[in-house]
């Protein structure tokens, strides 16, 4: 058994979520997407020898590292990666931005499902590209891809890149095999490169199956750039290490040309390499299985609490990740800057939908439920009192 009911004191470790300026002393941090929990013990065990050696020279990615990464994809997704397909940069958003600079030109269109995480928009704008939105539809209380709109905009806007976020942030959708194949088919026929941000793919709940882009089919390998990181699932945000897999030889050549220019492959964080090797070798599998169960318990608690108390909130059960997307448009609290309502009335820090995810997020909030069960219960009681006091 692993410990999820006890955590470090994040008010004392400079946490973005718990220790931002001007927050009240009793704030509950439910915004920024990281976990509150202690990491899997194997991570500490992998890092201690490096710290004890106290020498932080340039480190190679070893055979052990490559075997761990390839073995992890083989065991979990039936995907056979080749060592020469792999590279790394310090962050997933950084990798997305690099990909846009390589596979799109200034002025090109980039199509994205919306609502969209603001840094994704910044990456598109930073590449001097045009963001073309493909708004997801709410159908029977569930977000779906609008394929008619997607195909229409592919035909009219001629994007160079489709920027996929799967599992989707903030809606929590995990695209099905049928959806993945349809997206790949449309992009393949239209000559559109797919850059897939898969950072939330480590935590997926029963009944859903996450499919990495390159595991979709052979066509995806011709047009795809697959980006992942263990940061969200295993809480190693401050050990940044995005893993990029590119199967197509020409796309790989263009990518590596930029990697070499930034020297990312040469100056790799030794702690990150050790942590990733340990996790992907399977040493954290038991921890992850228990984490998913704990998070599912938190999620079930939130949803049942909202229903039992008749709160005017409509939550969309996520298929992946630890983030809950909630529609507040019928709550009588307006649709702008909803984070202020929850901060002022409940001392809860969370993410406003419009401010963080664009126009399709207006009237919504995103809550991080990767907290202890006791903290979650306190947060729910505060929300109940906030609505009861209105």
- Pairing type for strands 323-327 and 364-368 reads antiparallel
Which pLDDT score is estimated for 388? 87
For residues 144-167, average pLDDT: 98
For residue 265, pLDDT beyond 80: no
Please state which architecture CATH assigns to domain 44-283: 3-Layer(aba) Sandwich (3.40)
Q: Residues 69, 40: contact at Cβ < 8 Å?
A: no
For residues 332-340, average pLDDT: 96
For residue 266, pLDDT beyond 70: yes
For residue 11, pLDDT beyond 90: no
Tokens of 89: 């940069």
166-202: per-residue pLDDT in tens? Answer: 999 999 999 999 999 999 999 999 999 999 999 999 9
Alpha helices in the chain (DSSP H): 41-53, 63-77, 92-103, 118-126, 147-157, 177-190, 218-223, 231-234, 249-262, 270-278, 285-308, 338-346, 353-357, 373-388
Q: Is 79 left (phi over 0), alpha (psi -120 to 50) or beta?
A: beta
Sign of the torsion formed by the C-alpha atoms of 174, 176, 182 and 187 = positive
CA dist 289 to 33, 61, 233, Å?
19, 27, 11
76-103: per-residue pLDDT in tens? Answer: 999 999 999 999 999 999 999 999 999 9
Q: Residues 8, 38: contact at Cβ < 8 Å?
A: yes
What's the CATH number for 28-40+285-388? 3.90.1150.10
Q: Which residue has the higher pLDDT, 252 or 264?
A: 252
Spatial separation of the C-alpha atoms in residues 76 and 16, rounded to whole Å: 32
Confidence of residue 389 (pLDDT cuts 50, 70, 90): low
Confidence of residue 269 (pLDDT cuts 50, 70, 90): very high
Q: Residues 362, 389: contact at Cβ < 8 Å?
A: no
Spatial separation of the C-alpha atoms in residues 169 and 321, rounded to whole Å: 8
Question: How far from the centroid of its chain's Cα atoms is residue 386's Cα?
Answer: 30
For residue 146, pLDDT beyond 70: yes
Residue 211 DSSP SS3: coil
Peptide bond between residue 170 and the one before it cis (omega within 30 degrees of 0): yes
Task: Name residues whose C-beta falls within 8 Å of residue 138's C-beta, 6 or more positions apart in sequence.
Answer: 144
Q: Residues 350, 364: contact at Cβ < 8 Å?
A: no
Which pLDDT score is estimated for 44? 98
b/e sequence 284-316, b meaning 16+ C-beta within 10 Å = beebbeebbebbeebbeebeebbeeeebebbbb
Tokens of 311: 């709160």
Query: Which one, of 378, 375, 344, 350, lies nearest residue 364 by Cα?
Result: 350
- The burial class, CB within 10 Å (0-12 / 13-18 / 19+), for 114 is buried
- Would 28-40+285-388 and 44-283 be classified into the same CATH topology? no
Confidence of residue 23 (pLDDT cuts 50, 70, 90): confident
Map out the domains of the chain as residue ranges: 28-40+285-388, 44-283
Q: Residues 109, 159: contact at Cβ < 8 Å?
A: yes
Spatial separation of the C-alpha atoms in residues 338 and 296, rounded to whole Å: 25
Q: Using CA atoms of 208, 212, 216, 219 in order, give the dihedral in degrees to the nearest 10.
A: 160
- Pairing type for strands 242-245 and 86-89 reads antiparallel
Query: Which one, of 131, 142, 134, lies nearest residue 96 by Cα?
Result: 131
Which pLDDT score is estimated for 390? 60
The DSSP bridge partners found for residue 110 are 131, 161
Q: What is the mean pLDDT of the chain?
A: 96
Spatial separation of the C-alpha atoms in residues 381 and 390, rounded to whole Å: 15
């Amino acid at each position: 058994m692993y410990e999820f009911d006890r955590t470090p004191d994040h008010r004392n470790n400079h946490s973005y979520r718990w220790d931002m300026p001007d927050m009240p002393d009793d704030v509950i941090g439910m915004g920024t997407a990281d976990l509150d929990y202690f990491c899997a013990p194997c991570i500490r065990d992998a890092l201690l020898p490096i710290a004890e050696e106290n020498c932080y020279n340039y480190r190679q990615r070893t055979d052990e590292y490559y075997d761990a990464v390839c073995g992890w994809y083989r065991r979990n997704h039936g995907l056979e990666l080749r060592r020469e397909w792999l590279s790394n940069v310090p962050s997933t958003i950084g990798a997305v931005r690099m990909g846009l600079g390589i596979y799109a030109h200034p002025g090109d269109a980039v199509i994205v499902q919306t609502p969209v995480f603001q840094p994704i928009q910044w990456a598109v704008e930073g590449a001097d590209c045009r963001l073309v939105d493909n708004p997801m539809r709410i159908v029977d209380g569930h977000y779906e891809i609008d394929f008619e709109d997607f195909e229409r905009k592919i035909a009219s806007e001629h994007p160079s890149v489709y920027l996929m976020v799967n599992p989707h942030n903030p809606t929590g959708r995990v695209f099905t095999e049928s959806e993945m194949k349809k997206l790949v088919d449309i992009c393949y026929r239209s000559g559109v490169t797919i850059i897939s941000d898969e950072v939330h793919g480590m935590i997926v709940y029963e009944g859903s199956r996450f499919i990495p882009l390159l595991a979709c089919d052979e066509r995806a390998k011709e047009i795809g750039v697959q980006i992942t990181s263990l940061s969200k699932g295993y809480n190693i945000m401050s050990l940044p290490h995005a893993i990029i897999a590119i199967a197509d030889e020409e796309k790989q050549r263009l990518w590596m040309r930029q990697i070499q220019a930034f020297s990312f492959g040469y100056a790799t964080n030794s702690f990150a390499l050790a942590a990733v090797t340990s996790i992907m070798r399977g040493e954290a599998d038991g921890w992850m299985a228990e984490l998913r169960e704990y998070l599912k318990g938190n999620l079930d608690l939130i949803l049942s609490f909202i229903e039992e108390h008749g709160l005017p909130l409509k939550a969309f059960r996520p298929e992946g990740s630890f983030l809950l997307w909630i529609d507040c448009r019928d709550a009588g609290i307006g649709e702008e800057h909803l984070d202020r309502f929850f901060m002022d009335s409940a001392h809860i820090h969370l993410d406003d939908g419009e401010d963080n995810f664009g126009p399709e997020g207006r009237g919504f909030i995103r809550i991080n439920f990767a907290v202890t069960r006791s903290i979650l219960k306190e947060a729910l009681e505060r929300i109940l009192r906030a609505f009861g006091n209105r």
